[in-house]
């Protein structure tokens, strides 16, 4: 969510500190997993609000991984695709970006995302659908 490894590490530390300090407010009826996710997502959103200096990294997420013998042309296209997706994700509103990242990158279920973001499953379905539609639109606009 933060695109900067240092900010992500700081947010992770802050999240665990917040969880430790708020342990007395944890409800045993809730899932510890989603409670921690909610804290982490909210911390990341706080970081984004505080620091509007977010910039896209020129390195794709696949940087440093084996190429599996891709041609230079395939590597170039893969890098361009990754950069386009990252740029499109950054243009999404925070609520949509959080929902789509938790679903597609973290693999959470709709129910888990709803608990993390403290909203209904229907709202999460709507946000993910809107995020996908906006991503399609942004990516088509950039390629055509």
Domain holding 16: CATH number?
A: 1.10.1740.10
Angle at 124 between CA 42 and CA 106, to 5 degrees: 60
State the CB neighbour count (10 A cutoff) for residue 56.
11
Express each pLDDT in 56-87 by its tens digit.
444 455 555 555 566 777 777 777 777 888 88
CA distance 130 to 144: 21
Q: What's the token pair of residue 89?
A: 């994700």
Number of domains in the chain: 2
CB 115 within 8 A of CB 38: yes
CATH number at residue 79: 1.10.10.10
Asked if residue 79 and residue 20 are part of one domain, the reply reads no
Express each pLDDT in 8-64 by its tens digit.
888 889 988 988 888 888 888 878 888 888 888 888 877 776 765 444 444 455 555
> Which of the residue ranges 1-5, 31-35, 54-58, 128-132 has the most confident prediction, judged by mean pLDDT?
128-132
**pTM, full prediction:** 0.57
Place of tokens 């539609």: 133
Asked if residue 41 and residue 78 are part of one domain, the reply reads no
pLDDT band at 139 (very low <50, low <70, confident <90, very high): confident
Q: Which domain holds residue 48?
A: 1-53
Secondary structure of residue 139 in the 3-state scheme: helix
């Amino acid at each position: 969510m933060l695109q900067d490894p240092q900010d992500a590490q700081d947010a992770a530390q802050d999240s665990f500190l917040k969880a430790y300090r708020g342990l007395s407010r944890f409800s045993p009826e809730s899932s510890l997993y989603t409670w921690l996710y909610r804290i982490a997502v909210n911390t990341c959103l706080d970081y984004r609000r505080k620091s509007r200096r977010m910039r896209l990294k020129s390195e794709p997420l696949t940087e440093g991984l084996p190429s599996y013998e891709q041609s230079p042309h395939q590597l170039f296209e893969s890098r361009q695709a990754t950069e386009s997706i990252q740029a499109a994700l950054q243009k999404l509103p925070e609520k949509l970006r959080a929902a789509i990242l938790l679903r597609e990158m973290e693999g959470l279920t709709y129910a888990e995302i709803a608990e993390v973001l403290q909203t209904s499953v229907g709202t999460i379905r709507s946000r993910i659908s809107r995020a996908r539609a906006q991503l399609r639109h942004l990516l088509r606009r950039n390629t055509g």
